[in-house]
Structure 1
């Protein structure tokens, strides 16, 4: 039952995320192409320079939590049950999305986003395994 629901909801969810990444949350086109390649330091700097905890939670935790559903892609594509294949596939995909943000100037190519998003997928993969073990009759 959960797998059927997931198969129905994942494509609209992915389109919603793409909307957020390119047009949502007050996005605008930058004058220049921007890139942040210092892993972790840019996120620490963002947290240090941000007054609002709400903004920190939305940006930092959002970059993790919003990508958890992609850890369940093995329910649709059996090859993606393998963590290594899932991680390579996702990282290639998110690098393309970040590059599109860079080239369209509708965002910043940020290595931290790639790391946080990928961590979210990993958590989703772990959670998927947990659900399959504990609630196997609900998953089918």
Structure 2
């Protein structure tokens, strides 16, 4: 039951997420291509320079939480039940998306986004294993 729901919802979810990454949340086209490649430091700097906790939660936790559903991709593609393969496919995909943000100037290529998004996928993968173990009759 959960797998059927997931299969129905993941495509519109992905499209909505892509919309947010390129056009939503007040996005605009930068005059120059932007890139941030210092892992963790740019996120710490963002937290330090941001006055409101709401912005910190939305950006930092959002970059994790919004990608948790991709940890369940093994329900659609059985080869992605393997964590290494899932992370390889995901990191490759998110690097392409970040590169598209860079080349279209509709966002910033940020290494921290890749790290946070990948952590979200990992948490999703752990959650998927837990759901399968605890609620096996609901998953099918």
State the TM-score, normalized to the length of structure 2.
1.00
Give 4+ residue runs of structure 1 displaced > 3 Å after superposition.
Answer: none
State the TM-score, normalized to the length of structure 1.
1.00
Distance 1:130 1:39 in 2: 30
Unaligned runs of 5+ in 1: none
| Aligned ranges 1:24-43 → 2 under 5 Å | 24-43=24-43
Q: Which residue of 1 aligns with 2:59?
A: 59
Distance 1:53 1:82 in 2: 36
Q: Which residue of 2 aligns with 1:11?
A: 11
SS in 1 for 2:31: coil
Shift in Å at residue 97 of structure 1?
Answer: 0.1
Show CA shifts across 1:20-69 (max 9, x none). 00000000000000000000000000000000100000000000000000
Distance 1:138 1:77 in 2: 19
SS in 2 for 1:92: helix
Show CA shifts across 1:97-116 (max 9, x none). 00000000000000000000
Distance 2:52 2:105 in 1: 26
Distance 2:42 2:7 in 1: 35
Unaligned runs of 5+ in 2: none
